[in-house]
Structure 1
Amino acid sequence: MALFRSRPAFAADVLACDDIPVEPFTEARLRSECFSVLQPTERRADATIELLNDHNEPGLAVIVEVQLRPDPKKRTTWPTYVCRLYEDVGCPIALLVLCADDTTARWAATPIPLGPPGSQITPIPIGPRHIPRLTSATDPAASPEMATLSAITHGSRPGGYDVIDTMDIVFSRTDPTLARDYTEFVLGLLKTHARTYLEKLMATMTHEYHSEFTEKFVRKGLAKGKAEGEATGLAKGKAESVLQIIDARDIPTDARHRHQILSCTDPDRLSTWLRRALDATTIDEILTD
């Protein structure tokens, strides 16, 4: 939900993936996801967004739900979200369901009957087939959020590296802190081979946000070392960070090199190796004094 909370107007972009018409709006803003009434049970959606018209009034409200698998209970709770929000804003409501797979999307697409004569709520499911496979940063749809969603959806599939490359180019034009946060989000959801590819990409110095990401990566390694016990732990953490960066940048090493790094107990030398590892192309460039 970070994508929607970071840029609420992204809800309109995702609705467009399924050709859902959205009236022009001047502003998109978050509102409370809580749909509690006086009963003790709390109803909370994943995100709720208002799209405001020229009069600064809600023209459309969007409830966003992430669904990993079919869940029959949602067919009773979703109508309460819609009705409670409609009571608050009095404008059309879109129930947008982001689905992890097309099977779940087909399940979510089934209208929820509320009773005769034909009263029902119809969710708008968005599955992998709806999400654009972005392979060009010049694509009009290539916002940072859509590039993130495209990488999550298609990055682990055949040809997914092109999608990851496109995301990287889009992020190079984005605020570095936001790009780094989105990258961490994507890394947590990609399969192993795609995650390794993205980690290697982050270890290059091609774009500004790469360096921020790599520095944070190094700091995590140092913090881990400190937690294991002062000087010894710090040296171990630095040594592990050196190897992680070397592996991420695909610099060839052998057992002798790795033993040299892991057995080093000099924090200053390890710090030097860390700095060199960010730019070097061979192991000798890193370890040669």
Structure 2
Amino acid sequence: MPGSSHEAMHRIFQKDPALLTRALQGVLRIPFPEPRDFAAMNVDLTEIEPVERRVDTLLRAETDEGTYLLVVESQGKPDERKRGSWPYYLSYLYEKYRCEPVLIVVTQSSATARWAAEPIHFGVRGCPSLTVRPFVLGPDNVPVIADEREAERDVPLAVLSAMTHGRGPQAAAILESLAAALRTIDADSAAVFVQFVDSCLADRRAQQMWRDLMTAIQYFWRHPLAEQVREEGREEGREEGRLEDRVEMTLNILEWRGIQIPDSVRERVRACTDLNQLELWAQRAVHVTDAGDLFADDRS
């Protein structure tokens, strides 16, 4: 229990609340604003009913300099409630684990990134008692990886690039490079990355391009997301058969890559009734630099 000295040191301010203001202003030189009124409040901060609070991802990192707790929050848009919950998370985690907590916010929006990067200050303006400075990953600082070799060197970073830049003007080049890089890693990991990217592509056209690219990679069709894509196609009332799907996929990939399609190429692709041939052309469409190269090894 607190001793008498402890009690006296804080109860004096209950007796004369204005003394606290004078102490802040005159002793500590803190520009605390002049109060209009004071009200005593319950000092018990215990939560009678537990409040569920969850972070998106929490990782424990052991380093030579000590242990860190990495708190990762995905943020779609500004939410002023987070200005209160984020400091709570960090304080709670430090009190519970006695490890340094680090807050990282990930967003696809430049506006949200700017909002999230603003320091959170609690206390007197200009002299806060608590300041939280989130680290933000977003379109303005995550690198654009639109080169196949660069994507292969760091596939997870290429995935993050696709997730944060998926709505930007370079989306097609980013997705194309990532699709090629996914061939260099194990199928299980690639399938997980496929889902991450698919779920982050808010632009419908970019998402369809991604799914078309993944259709051309055979391992994708062994993953549950493939059945989801096919089911969505059925729900949307698509009546075209597998042949028509492959025709459109081949032409769409070329168009999204910015490759000009001569009428002769378009007509030949549309006239094909060999499913295996169309699937081969769809795979070639990911890499060719000229539409005519679709037929490079099967000239007739």
Q: TM-score, normalization: structure 2?
A: 0.59
Corresponding residue pairs, total: 217
Question: Where does 1:117-136 land on structure 2 (aligned, <5 Å)?
Answer: 117-118=127-128, 119-136=130-147
Q: Which residue of 2 aligns with 1:201?
A: 213
Q: Which residue of 2 aligns with 1:182?
A: 193
Q: Which residue of 1 aligns with 2:115?
A: 107
Contact 2:250 2:281 (8 Å CA) reproduced: no
Letter of the 2:211 partner, please give it.
E
Q: Which residue of 1 aligns with 2:80?
A: 72
Contact 2:59 2:69 (8 Å CA) reproduced: yes
Structure 1 CA distance for aligned equivalents of residues 229 and 175 of structure 2: 25
Work out whether 1:88 is the aligned partner of 2:96.
yes
Q: Offset of 1:147 from its aligned partner?
A: 0.9
Deviation digits for residues 113-167 of structure 1, max 9, x if unmatched?
A: 2335532111112221011001234449952221112112224322332211221
Deviation digits for residues 9-62 of structure 1, max 9, x if unmatched?
A: xxxxxxxxxxxxxxxxxxxxxxxxxxxx874211101001111125xx952211
Structure 1 CA distance for aligned equivalents of residues 107 and 238 of structure 2: 39
Percent identity over paired residues: 26
Question: Where does 1:8-157 land on structure 2 (aligned, <5 Å)?
Answer: 39-54=49-64, 59-115=67-123, 117-118=127-128, 119-139=130-150, 142-157=153-168
73-82 vs 190-199, greater mean Cα deviation = 190-199
Name the CA shift for 1:86/1:140 in 2 (closer, same or farther; >3 Å): farther
Q: Which runs of 5+ in 2 are unaligned?
A: 1-46, 252-264, 283-300
Deviation digits for residues 241-260 of structure 1, max 9, x if unmatched?
A: 44333322239579x989xx
Contact 1:203 1:245 (8 Å CA) reproduced: no
Work out whether 1:211 is the aligned partner of 2:218.
yes
Q: Offset of 1:194 from its aligned partner?
A: 2.3
Q: Secondary structure at 2:122's aligned position in 1?
A: strand
- Which residue, out of 165, 168, 179, partners 2:179? 168
Structure 2 CA distance for aligned equivalents of residues 105 and 91 of structure 1: 26
158-167 vs 71-80, greater mean Cα deviation = 158-167
Would you identify which runs of 4 or more consecutive aligned residues in structure 1 move more than 3 Å? 137-142, 214-225, 236-243, 251-254, 273-277
Deviation digits for residues 140-197 of structure 1, max 9, x if unmatched?
A: 9952221112112224322332211221232111111221232233234332332333
Contact 1:69 1:100 (8 Å CA) reproduced: no
Structure 2 CA distance for aligned equivalents of residues 241 and 164 of structure 1: 24
Structure 2 CA distance for aligned equivalents of residues 80 and 195 of structure 1: 36
Name the CA shift for 1:40/1:197 in 2 (closer, same or farther; >3 Å): same
Q: Offset of 1:280 from its aligned partner?
A: 5.9
- Aligned-residue Cα RMSD (Å) equals 3.8
Contact 1:199 1:248 (8 Å CA) reproduced: no
Contact 1:223 1:237 (8 Å CA) reproduced: no
Work out whether 1:245 is the aligned partner of 2:246.
yes
Structure 2 CA distance for aligned equivalents of residues 221 and 126 of structure 1: 29
Q: Offset of 1:71 from its aligned partner?
A: 0.8
Q: Which runs of 5+ in 1 are unaligned?
A: 1-36, 205-209, 229-235, 262-272, 282-289
Contact 1:48 1:63 (8 Å CA) reproduced: yes
Deviation digits for residues 208-232 of structure 1, max 9, x if unmatched?
A: xx1021455775588789x99xxxx
Letter of the 2:219 partner, please give it.
E
Q: Greater CA radius of gyration, 1 or 2?
A: 2
